């Protein structure tokens, strides 16, 4: 399918000043926005507790925010309404606090569970530590809100509850199956402590009423601040490493003139996507990073197609300038570019229009990236390659003059 007439050459490089100015402005604006007001990092990157709740009755975000803030147990609650046909009153509630048990509390829990390897455990006190309730192994989950304990025989669940309750500030999650034996052969018991998500649900019930708040949240997730920082650093490094390897690949496949243009185009596309997310105050999560990496690969593929045609035309049309070669090459591949970008855009737009949550954010990144990536191949990568070629040609001419015969 051809959208444009064959053998017709469009003067793309004649408009490069406008598009280069636009690109520089967009990247500069995105860079400024990164520092102020900064990206709206999701729980993946900044840490915190996140729950999704489907309320039984209509409620607005302001009322939920006031209910959470009035407890003085959570700081800076973030409330987002989630549109869902299945749950008409669904909200996403995020707080900065996490369910992280301190090392000192873990030590107290080990002693309360009468861990046999702990010398400080009062094993001689049969009232606190009966023989059936002496743990031989105690392990904590990443945040400490889940405990796995092993015994020589199945322990008394009631006594186990008393032992946990003896540690100040620690509460069991309310459930008929907590604690419970999860492996009868090893006498392994799973103990679930009350998390920040459970506490948040209790606060909502106390402030809004039990008839308003359901018994359980639809989803509970949390990430510690340290893990969030590690994820943020890893995400940044993954994008940087991807760009470096792209540059090496292009330098190997073509020559050094072409590599910087693709790298600049990839950086341009990534910054534009981040800028769009900051302007619309969308969350930057691991899904956003995945979208950025997808856009980088998409943009590179489009640029390589144009570069390949430029290299081919350089051998065919030796009398033409580099700018004319770019115009010819882009014109020849224009139909292919429109078809590829258009097909990809059509597949992403439904998710952007009708999608919700993470899918909608991913689609937003793809829509912005496809637009930026399509024109960056023409007006970012190609002009930089032309400029580098011109500099290399001038440098070669100077060297030839300097190396000429002296009188």
- Considering the domain architecture, whether residues 159 and 248 belong to the same structural domain is answered as no
Question: How many distinct structural domains can be found in the chain?
Answer: 3
| CATH code where residue 391 lies | 1.20.1640.10
Q: Are 48 and 404 in contact (CB under 8 A)?
A: no
288 closest CA partner among 42, 34, 79 = 42
Q: How does DSSP classify residue 88?
A: T
Write down the pLDDT at residue 119.
47
Alpha carbon distances (Å) from 289 to 274, 361, 399 = 10, 11, 45
Task: Give yes or no: residues 287 and 239 share one domain.
Answer: yes
Query: Which pLDDT score is estimated for 407?
Result: 45
Q: How far apart are the first and last CA of the chain?
A: 62
Does residue 177 fall inside a structural domain? yes
> Is residue 67 assigned to a domain?
yes
- Residue among 313, 376, 398 at smallest CA distance from 23: 376
Both 89 and 37 in a single domain? no
Shared domain for 137 and 93, answered yes or no, is no
Contact of 223 with 100, CB cutoff 8 Å: no
Q: Which pLDDT value is given to residue 226?
A: 64
| pLDDT at site 231 | 74
Q: Is residue 6 part of a domain?
A: no
In this structure, is residue 3 part of a structural domain? Answer: no
Are 269 and 235 in a shared domain? yes
203 shares a domain with 256? no
Own/partner pairs, 347-352, CB within 8 angstroms, 24+ separation: none
Q: Chunked in runs of 10, what are the mean pLDDT values of the chain (407 residues)? A: 69 87 92 90 78 91 89 80 82 80 85 75 70 89 80 91 88 85 90 86 90 87 69 81 79 76 88 93 85 85 87 85 89 86 90 82 91 89 86 64 51
Could you tell me if 1 and 335 are in contact, meaning their C-beta atoms sit under 8 angstroms apart?
A: yes
Other CB atoms within a 10 A radius of the CB of residue 334 amount to 18
Quick one: which of 80, 137, 82 has its CA closest to 110?
137
- Residue 19: predicted pLDDT: 87
Q: Are residues 240 and 342 in the same domain?
A: yes
306 and 389 inside one domain: yes
Q: Do residues 382 and 294 both lie within one domain?
A: yes
Do 92 and 185 lie in one domain? The reply is: no
203, 318: one domain: no
Angle in degrees, 0-180, between the axes of helices 259-279 and 225-253, rounded to the nearest 10: 150
- CA proximity to 112, closest of 181, 177, 160, 158: 160
- Identify whether residues 213 and 231 lie together within a single domain: no
CB 328 within 8 A of CB 311: no
Residue 216's domain spans which residues? 48-99+197-221
**Does residue 390 sit within a domain?**
yes
- Residue 333, both tokens: 């591949």
């Amino acid at each position: 399918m051809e959208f444009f007439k064959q053998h017709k050459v469009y003067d793309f490089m004649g408009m490069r000043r406008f598009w280069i100015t636009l690109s520089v402005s967009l990247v500069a604006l995105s860079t400024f926005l990164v520092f102020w007001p900064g990206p709206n990092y999701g729980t993946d990157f900044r840490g915190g507790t996140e729950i999704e709740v489907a309320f039984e009755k209509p409620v607005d975000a302001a009322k939920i925010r006031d209910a959470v803030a009035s407890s003085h147990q959570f700081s800076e609650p973030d409330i987002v309404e989630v549109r869902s046909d299945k749950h008409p009153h669904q909200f996403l509630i995020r707080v900065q606090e996490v369910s992280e048990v301190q090392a000192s509390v873990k030590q107290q829990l080990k002693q309360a569970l009468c861990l046999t390897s702990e010398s400080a455990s009062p094993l001689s006190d049969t009232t606190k530590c009966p023989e059936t309730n002496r743990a031989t192994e105690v392990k904590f989950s990443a945040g400490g809100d889940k405990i796995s304990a092993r015994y020589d025989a199945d322990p008394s669940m009631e006594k186990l509850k008393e032992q946990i309750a003896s540690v100040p500030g620690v509460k069991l999650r309310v459930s008929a199956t907590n604690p419970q034996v999860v492996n009868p052969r090893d006498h392994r018991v799973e103990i679930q402590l009350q998390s920040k998500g459970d506490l948040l649900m209790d606060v909502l019930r106390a402030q809004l009423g039990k008839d308003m708040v359901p018994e359980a949240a639809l989803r509970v997730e949390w990430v510690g601040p340290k893990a969030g920082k590690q994820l943020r650093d890893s995400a940044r490094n993954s994008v940087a490493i991807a760009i470096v390897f792209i540059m090496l690949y292009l330098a190997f496949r073509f020559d050094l003139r072409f590599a910087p243009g693709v790298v600049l185009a990839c950086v341009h596309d990534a910054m534009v996507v981040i800028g769009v997310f900051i302007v619309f105050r969308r969350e930057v999560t691991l899904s956003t990073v995945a979208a950025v990496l997808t856009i980088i690969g998409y943009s590179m593929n489009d640029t390589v197609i144009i570069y390949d045609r430029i290299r081919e035309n350089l051998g065919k049309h030796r009398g033409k300038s580099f700018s004319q070669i770019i115009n010819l090459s882009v014109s020849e591949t224009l139909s292919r570019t429109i078809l590829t970008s258009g097909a990809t855009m059509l597949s992403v737009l439904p998710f952007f229009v009708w999608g919700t949550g993470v899918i909608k954010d991913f689609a937003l990144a793809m829509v912005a990236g496809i637009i930026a990536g399509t024109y960056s191949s023409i007006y970012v990568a190609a002009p930089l390659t032309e400029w580098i070629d011109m500099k290399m040609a001038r440098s070669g001419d100077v060297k030839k003059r300097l190396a000429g015969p002296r009188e």
